[in-house]
């Protein structure tokens, strides 16, 4: 039987669309004219150094006078919006400032100056772009990268940076970006998400997070696996919260995103090469240095290369309870990725010895996934049990089984305990953690 065709989305009357477009075009023209005239009235660079609060009054007076002189019939709201836009251009990131102030926005994606998208609650949606042209977008990108002492131009057309609020920025410009400059800003919630939030969001069940908290407390080594945007860093943050407050933690990241609240945390961040292509400090060098810093735990934001070998050796030589993430689609692939990255180091290991290192170092693999409806869920918690011949053996403790998509497009399924009692229960009990066998039973429909 043929499936029914989806209904056409509601379409606004042509007259309304044309009227909105005409009004928006007029608004942008007036704003552009006022911004140009503002430059001839006041020195914006000098004013920017005085601070936004002090400069706002002077700019407001000048902008109001320019609006009156223009003869444009703007509403009070439009006049106030122009003032806000001008202040954002002087002191902030221009058209991106309203999006950055919006707490519901998690990602801002600019695909050239004409196309701006945001992610809210896991869903992408397009927002009206307020960039005037590619040159306007480039000015904002330059402002971002120059604030962190970086440069972006034809000789160095890619950059990773971090805003003052911790948001992560990636920009890439022509000739690598074919149609124009591209910009991504990944934001992080002001309030750190906790385990209770993940349970409320139905990303994980209470028994699953309880088991993982026991694993962290008992100093088992945990690997969080998942795709881009699946919530690996969020889960890593939550798990790191179960590390004792008396332990010394060293974190290593490409871009500092982790938000650990323990008292004894040493944060390390990689450094890219300078404009001459020199001075880069990669993760591997930081991992090696971290071992000299007397860490009780090492938390690596994400393993991507040869540092995987140093991480495994650290886990196998007294630094139990370490945590990290990796990009992979399932737990078995995660181990394969670690194996590939170990081979990228300058140490040549036989395949079996490499797998023995992995099996001995990593205890728990947690798989995280982003569903089609934008939700994030822990889809598997597996335990590494050892080796059989040349193969690393694993057993799944918990899993999420997708069943269907409801009428509202939400992914439905059930979290299931497989009924297997993990071997690590012996370590948990030795650490003084009581284990309830009922934890490894039951099904929860979501």
pLDDT tens figures, 208-224: 999 999 999 999 999 99
- Rounded Cα distance, 102 and 111, in Å: 20
Residue 191 backbone phi and psi in degrees, to 5 = -95, 125
Which DSSP letter does residue 74 get?
Answer: -
Per-position b or e across 46-66, b if 16+ CB within 10 A of its CB: ebeeeeeeebbeebeebbeeb
- Confidence class of residue 416 from pLDDT cuts 50, 70 and 90? very high
Whether the CB-CB separation of 394 and 331 falls below 8 Å is answered with: yes
Instruction: Provide the percentage of residues in the chain whose pLDDT is more than 90.
Output: 53
- Rounded Cα distance, 357 and 29, in Å: 64
- Rounded Cα distance, 31 and 321, in Å: 56
- The closest alpha carbon to 224, from 234, 256, 370, belongs to 234
Give Cα 182 distance to the centre of its chain: 17
User: CB-side exposure of 198: number of CA atoms within 13 Å?
Assistant: 26
pLDDT tens digits for range 165-201: 778 899 999 999 999 999 999 987 767 789 999 999 9
- Rounded Cα distance, 301 and 314, in Å: 15
Burial of 14 per CB tally in 10 Å (0-12, 13-18, 19+): exposed
pLDDT tens digits for range 303-357: 999 899 999 988 988 889 999 999 999 999 999 999 999 988 888 888 999 999 9
Q: Which helix (H) or strand (E) holds 326?
A: strand 323-327
The reported pTM is 0.81
Q: Look at residue 40 in the predicted model and tell me its pLDDT.
A: 66
- Rounded Cα distance, 306 and 22, in Å: 56
Q: Please state the rounded mean pLDDT for residues 88-100.
A: 85
Q: Please state the rounded mean pLDDT for residues 116-144.
A: 88
Choice among 5-14, 58-67, 136-145 with the minimum mean pLDDT: 5-14
- Rounded Cα distance, 95 and 102, in Å: 12
Question: Sign (positive/negative) of CA torsion 301, 262, 106, 402?
Answer: positive
pLDDT at 13 over 60: no
Q: Which helix (H) or strand (E) holds 444?
A: strand 443-445
Average pLDDT value for the chain: 86
Choice among 144-153, 246-255, 295-304, 356-365 with the minimum mean pLDDT: 144-153
């Amino acid at each position: 039987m043929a499936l029914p065709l989806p209904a056409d989305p509601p379409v606004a009357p042509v007259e309304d669309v044309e009227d909105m477009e005409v009004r928006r075009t007029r608004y942008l023209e007036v704003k552009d004219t006022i911004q140009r005239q503002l430059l001839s009235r006041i020195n914006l660079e000098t004013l920017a150094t005085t601070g936004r609060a002090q400069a706002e009054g002077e700019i407001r007076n000048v902008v109001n006078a320019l609006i009156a002189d223009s003869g444009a019939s703007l509403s009070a709201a439009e006049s106030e919006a122009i003032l806000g836009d001008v202040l954002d251009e002087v002191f902030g990131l221009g058209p991106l400032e309203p999006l950055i102030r919006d707490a519901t926005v998690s990602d801002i994606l600019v695909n050239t100056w004409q196309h701006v998208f945001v992610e809210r609650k896991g869903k992408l949606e397009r927002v009206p772009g307020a960039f005037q042209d590619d040159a306007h977008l480039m000015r904002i990108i330059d402002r971002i990268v120059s604030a962190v002492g970086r440069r972006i131009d034809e000789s160095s057309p890619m950059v990773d940076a971090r805003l003052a609020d911790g948001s992560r920025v990636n920009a890439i410009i022509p000739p690598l970006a074919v149609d124009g400059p591209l910009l991504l800003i990944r934001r992080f919630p002001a309030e750190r998400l906790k385990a209770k939030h993940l349970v409320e969001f139905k990303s994980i069940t209470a028994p699953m997070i309880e088991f993982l908290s026991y694993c962290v407390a008992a100093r088992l080594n945990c690997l969080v696996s998942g795709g881009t945007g699946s919530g690996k860093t969020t889960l890593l943050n939550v798990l790191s919260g179960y590390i004792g407050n008396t332990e010394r933690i060293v974190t290593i990241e490409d871009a500092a995103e982790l938000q650990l609240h323990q008292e004894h945390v040493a944060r390390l961040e990689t450094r890219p090469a300078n404009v001459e292509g020199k001075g880069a400090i990669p993760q591997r060098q930081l991992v090696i240095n971290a071992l000299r810093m007397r860490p009780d735990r090492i938390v690596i934001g994400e393993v991507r290369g040869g540092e995987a070998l140093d991480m495994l050796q650290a886990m196998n030589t007294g630094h139990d309870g370490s945590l990290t993430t990796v990009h992979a689609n399932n737990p078995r692939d995660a181990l394969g990725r670690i194996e590939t990255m170990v081979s990228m180091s300058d140490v040549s290991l036989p395949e079996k010895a490499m797998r023995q290192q992995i099996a001995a170092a990593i205890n728990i693999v947690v798989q995280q996934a982003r569903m089609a409806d934008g939700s994030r869920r822990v889809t598997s918690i597996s335990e590494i049990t050892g080796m059989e011949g040349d193969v690393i053996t694993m057993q799944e403790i918990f899993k999420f089984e997708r069943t269907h998509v409801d009428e509202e497009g939400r992914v439905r399924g059930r979290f299931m305990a497989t009924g297997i009692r993990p071997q690590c229960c012996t370590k948990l009990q030795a650490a003084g953690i009581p284990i309830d066998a009922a934890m490894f039973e039951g099904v929860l429909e979501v």
